[in-house]
Amino acid sequence: MERSVRFVGGPLDGRVQDLREHEAVAGRLLKHVHLHEGPKIETHYELHYSPENGWVYRLCGAGP
């Protein structure tokens, strides 16, 4: 079964990519590391699902 995930926030905002079946688990965390032209920058995303929006990786905030 093919499915896709959309990224919301951070450097990957707006990106859409394939989501493999074994990755489609709500609460799954993803770490994105940016190493180009400067210091290493890490951003973290959490996977969410809703019937209205489908699968979405949302940027994890620094706050509580």
Which residues constitute the domain of residue 12? 4-59
Would 32 be classed as within a structural domain? yes
Rounded to whole angstroms, the Cα distance separating 55 from 36 reads 28
**Tally of structural domains, the chain:** 1
Would 49 be classed as within a structural domain? yes
Q: Is the whole-model pTM more than 0.75?
A: yes
Taking the chain (64 residues) in runs of 10, the rounded mean pLDDT of each run is: 89 95 93 87 95 95 56
Rounded to whole angstroms, the Cα distance separating 5 from 19 reads 6
* Per-residue confidence (pLDDT) for residue 61, from 0 to 100: 77
* Per-residue confidence (pLDDT) for residue 45, from 0 to 100: 97
